[in-house]
Amino acid sequence: MNITVQSGDNFWLYSQIFRLPLQLIVDSNPSINPNQLMIGQTIKIPGFIPDTYTVQSGDTLWTISQQQNVAFQQLLFINRHLEANNLITGQQITLPRQVTWRVVNGCQEYSYDNLIKNMQQLAYIYPFMSLFEIGQSVMGKPIPELVIGNGTKKVHWNGSFHANEWITTPIMMTFLNDYLLSLTNQKPIRGLHVHPLYYETLLSVVPMVNPDGVNLVLEGPPEETYYRDLVLDINNGRSDFTHWKANIRGVDLNNQYPARWEIEQERKEQKPAPRDYPGETPLTEPEANAIADLTVNRDFDRLLAFHTQGEVIYWGFEKSEPAVAETIVNEFARVSGYEPIRTVDSYAGYKDWFIQEWQRPGYTVELGEGVNPLPLSQFEEIYQEATGIFLASLYI
């Protein structure tokens, strides 16, 4: 919600009126110097959206605040240009609605369009969250990154490396919505007050690494003739893409990283396929490159790549992981019930490459159990299991 600066205003006043942490207001207005506000400037107030109300006969701001369930001081402040004691029937006034509900409906088939819509909604309501484009998919879809906080600890999450594991995206987006709600409503998640996490952490999230693949699984072959013919050929003419893991070119994005890639190249598929083809060389695919470039540029302290399924957490690679990685994964296991597994006969994955190159904690989290794609009937159970991991990754 936007407000206009008037004489005597300052960010501290806004924080008191709207009952928000001062830093959230500062971070929502990065181009404005809090110490040099100018009358007429537009200021973004996070966690609120404007609504309108038509004054009825006999109304006062007090009765309106009671009837509409908005705080009287906020209503008075946002309508300072009016004569509060002389409201006119038919007059339009602004109601500051504090957002206390989710805008993300995660328990649905969650396509790329759903993601973009929800990200734009969250960015509007919570302008202290930043959006970036880290690259594009094969078909030219922008791959978005969300960033919340600017602390010194840099944590990264991503989901939907594999197309038929798309449920990881709405799980992640639902938690992000809850995190933002917790910050602006000052209510804890599972008894944990999250404001210290915001101040201490820069959280980077790429909710959908493989947008072309996700849409292929959920919506079927694309309209573009070239890509439609390509995926049908790779899929041996079958129109059912339910079990497709790869990107639109038939490359497994989580077999694309230069961490003993040659092992996977020798024993996996030798040509484009719905799954398990590591490509001709490492990092041939734009989606894998976008994540690699982001990782280098952001210099993450730890990362979690969310996949399905198995209720396990892979946390080692060739004994290159630091000792603290085990402490962290044991906490993940405690809060989720998932089994930590240090080593597995698998290479060329994103977390493998991260551990190999930086010797920092990296995790592949396999959410849920069953056959991919996991059914939406598991959504709530998976969300509850994942919430503990999300929180622990920020506070440990």
Q: What is the largest CA-CA distance in the chain?
A: 81
How far apart are the C-alpha atoms of 234 and 326, rounded to whole Å?
40
**Strands annotated E in 55-110:** 92-98
Q: Are 115 and 103 in contact (CB under 8 A)?
A: no
Say which residues have a Cβ less than 8 Å from residue 201's Cβ, sequence separation at least 6.
Answer: 149, 151, 153, 154, 155, 394
Catalytic residue among 366, 380, 381, 385: 366
Helices (H), 244-285: 261-267
Selection from 354, 365, 313, 329 nearest residue 171 by Cα: 365
CB 103 within 8 A of CB 55: no
- The encoded tokens of residue 308 equal 């399905």
Provide CB contacts within 8 A for 344, sequence distance 6+. Answer: 314
Q: H helices within 277-378, ranges in order?
A: 286-298, 324-336, 350-358
Is there a catalytic annotation at residue 366?
yes
CA–CA separation, 202 and 220 (whole Å): 36
Task: Say how many C-beta atoms besides its own lie within 10 A of residue 8's C-beta.
Answer: 8
Residue pair 164/245 in contact by the 8 Å Cβ criterion:
yes
Is the peptide bond between 309 and the residue preceding it cis, with omega within 30 degrees of 0? Answer: yes
Query: What letter represents residue 375's amino acid?
Result: P
CA neighbor of 178 nearest in space, from 387, 394, 392:
387
How far, CA to CA in Å, does 260 sit from each of 209, 293, 357? 22, 19, 12
Q: Structure tokens of 94?
A: 């602004």
Of 382, 211, 163, 202, nearest in space to 303 by CA: 202
CB of 388 closer than 8 Å to CB of 335: yes
Report which secondary-structure segment, H or E, holds 154. Answer: strand 153-159
Which residues are the active-site residues?
A: 366
